[in-house]
Structure 1
Amino acid sequence: MLNTTSTPAGADLDPGVRDFIRITGEAYVTHGGDLEKTAVNARQIAEKVRAPWVAGGPVMFSTVEQSVPTPHGAVRIRVYNPDGGANKPALIYIHGGGWVMFSIDTHDRIMREYAARAGVCVVGVDYSLSPEARFPVALEQVITVVHHVRDQAALLGIDPDRLAMGGDSAGANLSLSTALHLRDTGNGKALRTLVLNYGAFAIDLSADDVRKYGGPQYMLTAEEMAYFWSQYLTGSDDVNPLAVPLLADLHDLPPVFLCVPQCDVLTTQSLILDGRLQTAGVETRTIVYEGATHSFLEAVSISEVAEKAFSDAAAWLRERL
């Protein structure tokens, strides 16, 4: 259950997550204090800030990169194999960053953690970022990568019949929208399951979430989320269910694991999604992680709650794949 006790802002966070927020906040000041606020600078700063959190963690048997042609230019993918096994199940993982920043480099450790813990190959996708590439560019690139992985599965050491997809924040949005597209184009069986971490599924935020978790002591503010949406969408995209998946008909989707941090301006969106998926007959497992906030999986090196979230998702993937 969610803790509704009134506490000072930030006091309800897991100690490791609180340190993660403090350290990354200080690093943003160090690396970007005097730079002009542009998308390019923001990305460069974000890569530097996140670099220390990528260090350490599981060592892979092999890591291979490929360039995949898509309707919107080539996309880099990175394939992690934890043990060298062939014909392995795979998780196609889509990084977060508000569609505006981050990369498979900032999320390298997250993907290695999933590979090692679940015993699967992980395929990271370096999709094009907004505002240079607005909706539906990234989505169509991700969809193309799914078909590429299925077509080239033997060469990648992957079993094409045991594919999952997952992501965090904007990556969770893209993962769910990809599953909707695959269902609607007759490829609904392409994915066995989805792993959705603190996703952005609707434009409107819960006023209660914003009041409790929208301050600087937490990782993501309402203003930042509004900015990200403004960079990703144009025109009438805000009513397109492939851009805003809480608007979609959610029937006939694969089983869904929802990783929901307690202290996030997006928390209620995941809980609403859970209810609508169940109403549509989709199996879900939804866990609310007390003391966690947006991006908390990146703090796995120092956070017990992040450690538990990875273990829970890995168990789900092993069961489903």
Structure 2
Amino acid sequence: MALSQDYKHDLKVKAAYYYYKKDMKLADIADTLNVSRVTLNKLLKEALDEGIVRIDIVDHDNTIGILELEEMAKERFHLKDIEIAPSFSGTCHDVAYAAARMVDSLMFDGIKISLTWGATLEILVDYLTGSNFIKDIEVYTLLGAQGTIGMQMQPNTIAQNLLRKYKGTGYVMNAPFVCEKAETAQSIMSDKSFTSIVDKARSSDLTLVGIGPTPNTAASKSSMRYDMETIRELKNSNVCGDICSNFYDIYGNICNNPLCDRFVKTGLDEIQKHKNVVGIANGDHKVASILGALNGGYLDTLITDQKTIVDVIEMADRLGI
């Protein structure tokens, strides 16, 4: 029997009242109104669609706006996940804190973590809550350490600090980062002590990577990871950024440079075999390098801030990519 519009409207109001106000179970509401569960679900949906029921989400911190931005960026750049810190400050602390919160939530007994280097990774580890209940983790470094700028930014130091928060074993590359000759670097990377770590790291559950900025000859000496000659060479090769000292251009193409042959590092082709590569970076100086990493498909997850991802999207729009 067809229901009149007035009667159907009354049923929608009653269904909504019992469900939202009285918190009754669907089966009980269906019995009370003498309708089937299918009809009841339809009545509740129409009550929402027609504005009989209005749901207001109180969002003082723009969480919904951030969520929508995350969904849009995730789809556009083919990411498994993205975490956007609601910050316009440009400092790496907000992003490092967001990354630490994510890492803490993913920890479990026996987790395997690979990492590279950088200031944001250093701060991330400082922000980790840590736990005495999670044990037997394994941490692998993906590049040489000796001779890199800033002791705290070195991968071996970051690994050691991580193991102070969560108990386990570290497998670090005790080798120079830059060799004088390419032959020396190739010899180190052919050695079993290096290849065994690369092989173990391949089974990582989580790989944390910093994203290096466009090489800048104007950078302060204390913040430079490469000498001036190296920076000039890289700029001439259209380099816009790097992951684990593997350089690429804005389109994600690998930039092969003779200087790179002197670095002791894990290649991007190898890192891409890892289960979940998490890139952590933000700031105006990293917009191009983040876009290049996304275009190259080098990341599964990105953690950045609101201003940076908006700038990345705008740059991609300008370049038509």
Same fold (TM over 0.5): no
For normalisation by structure 2, the TM-score amounts to 0.34
Greater strand content: 1
Q: Which has the larger radius of gyration?
A: 2
Greater helix content: 2
